[in-house]
Amino acid sequence: DKIVVLKQGKIVETGKHKDLLENSTIYKNLYSRQLSAH
């Protein structure tokens, strides 16, 4: 499976969840916000 990270409608990163958490500030912040909302 591959996740696509969009910013203002453009693809900025793609990858697996684990890789994006380690390497993507945008994805890491989004994921953290999602977790804290629950």
Q: How far apart are CA 24 and CA 21, in angstroms?
A: 6
Q: Are strands 10-15 and 3-7 parallel, antiparallel or unpaired?
A: antiparallel
1-37 pLDDT, tens digit per residue, is: 999 999 999 999 999 999 999 999 999 999 999 999 8
Q: Distance (Å, rounded) from C-alpha 4 to C-alpha 25?
A: 14
Gap between the Cα atoms of 22 and 38, Å rounded: 22
> What pLDDT sits at residue 38?
74
**How many structural domains does the chain have?**
1
- Show Cβ contacts of residue 30 under 8 Å, excluding neighbours closer than 6 positions: 5
pTM of the model: 0.77
Domain housing 24: 3-36
